[in-house]
Amino acid sequence: MANKIIECHELSKHFGDFKAVDQITFDVKEGEIFGFLGANGAGKTTAMRILCGLSYPTSGEASVAGFNVYKQQEKIKKHIGYMSQKFSLYDNLTILENIEFYGGVYGVSREEIKKRSNELVATLGLEKEAKKLVGSLPLGWKQKLAFSVAIFHRPKIVFLDEPTGGVDPITRRQFWDMIYQAAEDGITVFVTTHYMDEAEYCNRITVMVDGRVEALDSPARLKESFHTHSMDEVFYQLARKAKRSSD
């Protein structure tokens, strides 16, 4: 049985009287592709910020890669990768400069950065574009590059916050091929998405509604439980209970 790389027990985050995250409990296994779903206002982003070591919880317990979210936030940051929907690389640097910059931030040695940079550029088929400014790339290529940079230091887990927003269906499929490869290489993937077809690609899914976990299982079992063949319908049945509308 795989070890648990994320563990949450009754984790909460309050802003005054507002319960953004309300006593959520779940775990994520090593090497798993774990979907974290919910409509706007469900609390996904707040929960992810806690797990990435960017925000303290109000109460409850959680650990990421074996590190405590209260006491070891800096260690968490060193052992994870992160990619947001809002593109996270520097448009005014070249592809190689971005890779070298983030490799240094993540503590990868210069020799290893050079070796891995060449491998990465070749894998993406960007040899001719390596010295072009990232700002000149199409969105789909930017997103694939951003994901590659997020796992450049070979973290134990990568957090992806709606990584395929705004890209075309073919690019989304290619992006998920990269996610599958990362999982095969032993990287745990924690992903939020609004696309229910992408939810089907996950090993397990959590659906949050109004700050609480309302469902947690594999896509197949969730569809069986809700008597439907569609993850869209599962999500609709859960999300229509929501009372709030913004994160």
Two tokens, residue 100:
């070298």
Instruction: Give the mean pLDDT of 149-164.
Output: 93
Q: Is the pLDDT of residue 246 over 70?
A: no
Query: DSSP states of 31-44 as a string?
Result: T-EEEEEE-TTSSH
Indicate if the pLDDT at residue 247 is higher than 60. Answer: no
Among candidates 76, 32, 31, 86, which has minimal Cα distance to 50? 76
* H or E segment and range at residue 129: none
Q: What are the φ and ψ backbone dihedral angles of 185, each rounded to 5 degrees?
A: -80, 0
User: Does 1 score more than 80 pLDDT?
Assistant: no
pLDDT of 20-74, one tens digit each?
999 999 999 999 999 999 888 889 989 999 999 999 999 999 999 999 999 999 9
DSSP state of 194: S
In this prediction, residue 243 carries a pLDDT of 80
Per residue in 123-147, pLDDT (tens digit) is 999 999 999 999 999 888 898 999 9
